Amino acid sequence: MNNKIYDYLIVGSGLFGSVFAHEAYLQGKKCLVIDKRDHAGGNVYCENVEGVNVHKYGAHIFHTNDKAIWDYVNSFVEFNRYTNSPIANYKGEMYSLPFNMNTFYQLWGVKTPAEAKEKIQSQIDQLNINNPDNLEQQALSLVGTDVYEKLIKGYTEKQWGRVATELPAFIIKRLPVRFTFDNNYFSDKYQGIPIGGYNKLTEGLLKGIEVRLNVDYFEDREGWSALADQVVYTGKIDQYYDFRFGQLEYRSLKFEHEVHDIENYQGNAVVNYTEREVPYTRIIEHKHFEFGTQPNTVTTKEYPVEGSLKNEPYYPINDEKNTAVFKLYKELADQEYDVIFGGRLAEYRYYDMHQIIGSAFKEVSRQFDKQAVKA
């Protein structure tokens, strides 16, 4: 006799959990979503401050080439036409990102692609780097001295908390260099921000589904799991297995939000601070994501910090050591018959938002195609 109340217990209300819950609900399944935070939506959650939708856990800019995923998210909330065009501030000098002809003109005064290519190649040739064995050498061999020193070195060292010569070369397999006057950071066909903020997307996905907040799954793991036939787990995979093979390492972020009694603080949504001596990596001015006209503005400084049990995990450190540890956890996860692991923490990989949704779609397809075959 089955005394289960729900078909699925979904641990975590981020994009993976919310998309899975929505699709299961459409299949007639009864779902319970729990989250340890006091809000749903995971890291895409927005907090309204002074009428501005503040991306509480860092800037989230939706971009994809997948029309089906773009149409999917727009079916819950209309997305605007925001285009990500960040600016880099290096010791007060302002440069366009990604590296493009505007950047090269700002650096050297060159006006044609041929001049820019010649300048970069001349710097690369002087370095005589044949087999890069660290991040610094890899980056120098791709873009030369000036771009590396002003726009990559300090930012990367802050981001990873290590000097560039101690970081592996594979972290930078390639660097996007464009020989056009184009400041659009992403090359994806579809890009934008939900009009009214990401909470509208979360609310649409979870409509009609029971959600309980301020719930720590691990405080009564057996009790929560006993409520459902299957668990969809989107938290840290090492925590699920009580860290038996050790902790997987992450880089984390600390946010410093500030309200300014002015209409416009920096003139752009994203300004990166690329010198090592400035402790934060960037300042986000949130109103520009939605072309806001509010009388006040809200900014967020992002400070990279080492991950720990107390810090929210953001960026997995996918080096050889952590990859080997994750493989051990993955082997355990693959043996589970009533637990589904999904999302950036459970899969220990960095995902853009559209990739998380795509991953959730694949899991939904596996689950319900399998059930259709059984039927």
The architecture of the domain spanning 6-82+190-247+316-374 is 3-Layer(aba) Sandwich (3.40)
For 106-119, the pLDDT digits (tens) are 999 999 999 999 99
Amino acid identity for residue 117 in this structure: K
Any residues with CB less than 8 A from the CB of 114 and at least 6 apart, and which?
Answer: none
Nearby residues of 103 by Cβ (< 8 Å), 6 or more positions away:
95, 96, 97, 147, 151
Please name which of 18, 11, 17 lies closest in space to residue 35, comparing C-alpha atoms: 11
Of 178, 159, 182, 197, give the one whose Cα is nearest residue 84: 182
Q: What is the pLDDT of residue 173?
A: 78
- In this structure, are residues 253 and 314 in contact, taking their beta carbons and an 8 Å threshold? yes
- Gap between the Cα atoms of 49 and 67, Å rounded: 32
Positions annotated as catalytic residues are 174, 178, 251, 282, 302, 350, 352
Q: What's the gap between Cα 107 and its chain centre?
A: 29
d(C-alpha 38, C-alpha 345), whole Å = 19
Helices 135-147, 101-108: inter-axial angle, 10-degree rounding: 70
Q: Where are the domains of the chain?
A: 6-82+190-247+316-374, 87-171
What confidence category does residue 370 fall into, taking pLDDT thresholds of 50, 70 and 90? Answer: low
Q: What is the pLDDT of residue 2?
A: 62
Condensed to tens digits (0 to 9), the pLDDT of residues 289-332 reads: 999 999 999 999 999 998 887 888 999 988 889 999 999 999 99
Handedness of CA 197, 360, 304, 150 (dihedral sign): negative
Of 253, 233, 230, nearest to 347 by C-alpha is 233
Burial of 338 (0-12, 13-18, 19+ CB in 10 A): exposed
* pLDDT at residue 60 greater than cutoff 50: yes
Q: What is the pLDDT of residue 175?
A: 83
Residue 1: the pLDDT is 40
Residue 375 has pLDDT above 70, yes or no: no
Encode pLDDT of 347-361 as tens digits: 999 999 999 999 999
Per-residue confidence (pLDDT) for residue 106, from 0 to 100: 98
Between 170 and 233, whose confidence is greater?
Answer: 233
Q: What is the pLDDT of residues 174-216, one digit of tens each?
A: 788 999 999 999 999 999 999 999 999 999 999 999 999 999 9
Which tokens go with 69?
């995923």
Give 228's contacts (C-beta < 8 A, 6+ positions apart).
4, 5, 6, 7, 8, 9, 32
